């Protein structure tokens, strides 16, 4: 891959920064914003794009497995726990957050007259399985578990659990295909078997 002179300089600065401050990582591109860094645990081979933002506030934590790659402008916002498995690939401009300002279902729902910043946090936990692939512009929010090998299409909104070895897309995300190990193919979900979660 060919880089221009300016890109080579930026890449070199990021490389030295990585070796000094993220020693297990492959490459952390600057700028990166890591809030409450002591609560961010990462495995070897981490690669980030430009302007990623990882925030593990208060006593929360973010756990990133081995050989995880983030594109540019990925944001992880944890008020409780975000766990990412090994070999997960994130495209760019993705948001992953385990909390929401306000409660909008069940008992004790939030009054809309309360300013959003004063509303109680509805906090969950996010787990993303090994070998998942998350497309550009996706948002993963709330209390969600994403299975191994799952593919999430660009601009999808994930607010519920997703099965392993499946392809999801849309807002809200719906299952489109499943991996069939017998045929070694991604097979479409028929209308009779569509995901109604």
Q: How are beta strands 174-180 and 157-158 bridged, if at all? A: unpaired
3-class DSSP state for residue 29? coil
Say how many C-beta atoms besides its own lie within 10 A of residue 116's C-beta.
10
Q: Which two tokens stand for residue 7?
A: 């890109």
* Domain boundaries of the chain, sorted by first residue: 5-193
Which residues touch 63 (CB under 8 Å, ≥6 apart)?
A: 41, 42, 81, 82, 83, 84
pLDDT at 1: 57
pLDDT at 196: 45
pLDDT at 100: 92
Q: What count of Cα atoms within 13 Å lies in the side-chain half-sphere of residue 113?
A: 0
* Residue closest to 39 by CA, chosen among 64, 20, 56: 56
Q: What DSSP element (H or E) covers 82?
A: strand 81-84
pLDDT at 194: 46
Q: Please tell me what DSSP assigns to residue 20.
A: H
> Domain 5-193 falls in which CATH fold?
UDP N-Acetylglucosamine Acyltransferase; domain 1 (2.160.10)
pLDDT in single tens digits along all 197 residues of the chain: 566 888 889 889 999 999 999 999 999 999 999 999 999 999 999 999 999 999 999 899 999 999 999 999 999 999 999 999 999 999 999 999 999 999 998 889 999 999 999 999 999 999 999 999 999 999 999 999 999 999 999 999 999 999 999 999 999 999 999 999 999 999 999 744 544 44
The pTM assigned to this predicted structure is 0.92
What's the farthest any 2 CA atoms get from each other in the chain? 58
């Amino acid at each position: 891959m060919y880089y221009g002179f300016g890109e080579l300089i930026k890449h070199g600065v990021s490389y030295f920064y990585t070796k000094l401050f993220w020693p297990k990582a492959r490459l952390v591109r600057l700028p990166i914003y890591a809030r409450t860094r002591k609560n961010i645990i990462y495995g070897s081979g981490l690669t980030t794009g430009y302007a990623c933002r990882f925030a593990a506030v208060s006593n929360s934590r973010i756990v990133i497995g081995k050989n995880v790659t983030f594109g540019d402008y990925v944001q992880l916002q944890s008020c409780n726990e975000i766990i990412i498995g090994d070999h997960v690939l994130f495209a760019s401009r993705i948001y992953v957050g385990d909390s929401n300002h306000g409660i909008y279902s069940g008992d004790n729902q939030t009054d809309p007259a309360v300013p959003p910043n004063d509303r109680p946090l509805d906090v969950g936990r996010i787990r993303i399985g090994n070998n998942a692939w998350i497309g550009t512009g996706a948002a993963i929010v709330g209390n969600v578990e994403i299975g191994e090998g799952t593919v999430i299409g660009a601009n999808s909104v994930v607010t519920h659990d997703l099965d392993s070895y499946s392809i999801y897309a849309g807002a809200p995300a719906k299952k489109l295909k499943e991996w069939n190990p017998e045929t070694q193919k991604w097979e479409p979900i028929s209308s009779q078997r569509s995901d109604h979660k």
